[in-house]
């Protein structure tokens, strides 16, 4: 297996790692209940998707 011949500087090492980071998931507001939800998913608070009732949500 090949091994590195020279040491990477801290700047070069960090440049390689710039894309390795976590990002917060994108959220949109539900048009019915105005709760944040993931786009293209059923709203878990009111159970609607594209202005249609898809699942029944039990109110606590």
Q: Is the dihedral of CA 22, 28, 34, 35 positive or negative?
A: negative
| Domain ranges across the chain | 26-60
Supply 18's token pair: 């710039």
CA distances for 5 relative to 8, 15, 32, angstroms: 10, 19, 60
Q: Do residues 37 and 44 touch, judged by C-beta distance below 8 A?
A: yes
What tens digit of pLDDT does each residue of 10-55 get? Answer: 999 999 999 999 999 999 999 999 999 999 999 999 999 998 999 9
pTM of the entire structure? Answer: 0.61
Strand-pairing partners, residue 30, are none
Euclidean distance between CA atoms 57 and 45, whole angstroms: 7
């Amino acid at each position: 297996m090949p091994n590195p011949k020279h040491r990477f500087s801290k700047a070069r090492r960090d440049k390689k790692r710039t894309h390795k980071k976590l990002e917060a998931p994108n959220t949109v507001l539900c048009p019915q209940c105005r709760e944040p939800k993931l786009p293209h998913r059923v709203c878990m608070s009111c159970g609607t998707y594209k202005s249609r009732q898809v699942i029944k949500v039990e109110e606590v």
